Chains A and B, each alone.
Chain A
Amino acid sequence: MQSICAFDRIIPGRGVAALLEDGTQVAVFRLHDDSLYAVSNLDPFMDANVMSRGLVGDRGGEPIVTSPLLKQAFSLKTGACLDDEMVALEVFAVEVLDGEVRVGVNSEVKASA
């Protein structure tokens, strides 16, 4: 797990982008209920690293982020695109420790699973 910023740095209902040590870009979102989600920052439709700037909300109760480019919705829980079942975002582990937001690189997620 890698520390990226203070929890308070993320405003409720928005996301931030983080650059992991291996060069991976992760989008981390804080929802209004203070829950955190982390997915790949790469918009798979447009191939641009912009997901952290999307709007969050819910679709039928499922927490989602909407691509800021072409507005496809992705589940924050599974990364699955709700508008195109062939596409999904990578999902990352995220936690808060001592007020710091920490994100797990992919290998660690798989190892712990």
Chain B
Amino acid sequence: MSSFRRILIANRGEIAVRIARACRELDIASVAVYSEADRAALHVRMADEAFAIGPAPSRESYLRIDRILEVARRSGADAVHPGYGFLAENAAFARACEEAGIVFIGPRSETIALMGEKTSARRLAVEAGVPVVPGTLAPLDDLELLRGEAERIGLPVMIKAAAGGGGKGLRLVHDASLLAAAAERARSEALSAFGDGRLYLEKALLRPHHIEIQVLADHHGHTVHVFERECSIQRRHQKVIEESPSPFVAPELREHMGALAVALAERAGYRNAGTLEFLVDAAGHPYFLEMNTRLQVEHPVTEMVTGLDLVKLQIRIAQGEPLPFAQADLRQRGHAVECRVYAEDPAQGFLPSPGRIVALRPPAGPGLRDDSGVYEGGEVPIHYDPLISKLVAWGTDRAEALARMRRAVSEYAVLGITTTLPFFERVLRHPAFVAGDIDTGFIERHLGELCAAPSDEDRDMAVVAAAVRALRDRQSARAQGPVPAGATSAWRARVWRDLGPAR
């Protein structure tokens, strides 16, 4: 058992910031890597050391195993934390770390390969006696085979990428005539996201819940589960709001799913933090979907209800320390909810909205946590995932957690880019969501209401504010003569007048 002195964070954005914070608390030096687009990014500012690894496209930087390992060697890092996305579930990267004598903070490379290939994970689940969603147990390369299997399973089916994750290469097909086009799109997306275009099929369940179980396993044969997360609020098959506990899960189901998750993790010889995703049908039957062999974006909701720090535990496990608790020591306390703040425009089908953040005022106060990767004046680059922050609220029960989240969203101001925050404001007030009546079709089903027109009061207030602002800008522009280039408001013009131009 040895303590790390220096951890390389092979990631960017809010998760790189999150890991750097854990390193600082553990008194371990953090090493950031950055692309040319990210020199001024927050994760670089937060790290102890930082090294450039190439041009903006992730293929030429954050996905370059050789350059990242070169930085690890040069900086003297004893471990690498991959975060999520990029190389987090890349067995070749984990293997390259192992071969270079650098600890990969996660499972062994062969476990990543076994569980990362979704059809082999499904086969292992069947062997472990864990129910799986009906579908194909091997990847299909041929469109005719795909068509035949779709017929056998019965529509609707979900086309999935064998190497997949994060909603990439995923298509729901209701109509046989659309299968070919959907498969082609899924294949091309999977190829560009994972470098592997192989697909498989699963039967699409009716109004399923997406519920996952967090597991932790040390190197001494102890595996525990850290309860569930409810992740049913999704758009484009990507989660946007998660909570724990799930309003749908009764104690018996929780215990049952926890036992299934531990059984499968043990069967896989799993180490470190991982998550087993399940679909749960309306009758409460869980079906194993896939395992994510890494930290999850939504890990903070588990941290809030258990009081654990999963990233620090990951580091401690990787250092060879035994888990400091047993299953019986773990409790859920209260309720936590997370909103993923994306630079996206819900009104335009969640199209990305990159750009410069002109103004940023994150919320504060009791029960809140804002895991952000951006700052006022900073740029949200086009090249990467549009997640800018994870906003988490905790309460003694679900009602208090939701009330806190509504309050937090109303305080959270972001200007310059379009975000999903106003959309959350509506989801959080939607009666079905408040009642806990949620499944993976929630957003699609309620999209009209969730993008509804503003109230008359809001319209009036917006017009009043804009008209007054326009008049004030106009008057101060006249009072001060020509406004210096770059000044966009009276306030700036006044600052400029009082302080003079920057020297």
Bound together: no
Using a CB–CB cutoff of 8 Å, the interface residues on chain B facing chain A are none
Using a CB–CB cutoff of 8 Å, the interface residues on chain A facing chain B are none
